[in-house]
Amino acid sequence: MMHYKGYYGRTELDDEAGLFHGRVVGIRDVVTFEGRTVRELRKAFRDSVDDYLAFCRERGEEPDKPYSGKVSLRVEPELHRKISMAAGAAGKSINRWIAEHLEQDAEKVFENGG
């Protein structure tokens, strides 16, 4: 994934067309980009983000922000109890304990290539 100004772009290769195309992910608005080379693709991604931000400014609207940092999570009551006990034993809030464990697992995914 590409990253620019807090936005993330996901890309795919259209082998038949010989073209990379991508989309900014994590927002409701549709922001796309494309290029024939990696260099073109990166530039198109940055240009698309800049164009999106300028468009929002011109309209007087707040741009959609990716990943607010809020995640709604529902678990079974027994798991909730276990999490609460584990967090308390670690001297942490439930939120901090869950965030640390999610971060550890997410890092493992990136270390293993997905």
**Domain range enclosing 47:** 2-59
- Would you give the DSSP letter of residue 63? P
DSSP 3-state percent helix, strand, coil across the chain (nearest 5): 45, 20, 35
Whether residue 53 is found in the same domain as residue 81 = no
pLDDT in tens, 20-48: 999 999 899 999 999 999 999 999 999 99
Whether residue 6 is found in the same domain as residue 42 = yes
CB 66 within 8 A of CB 27: yes
Q: Is residue 64 part of a domain?
A: no
Q: How many domains does the chain have?
A: 2
Whether the pTM exceeds 0.75: the reply is: no
- Tally of residues, the chain: 114
**Predicted confidence band at 114 (pLDDT cuts at 50, 70, 90)?**
low
Q: Is residue 91 part of a domain?
A: yes
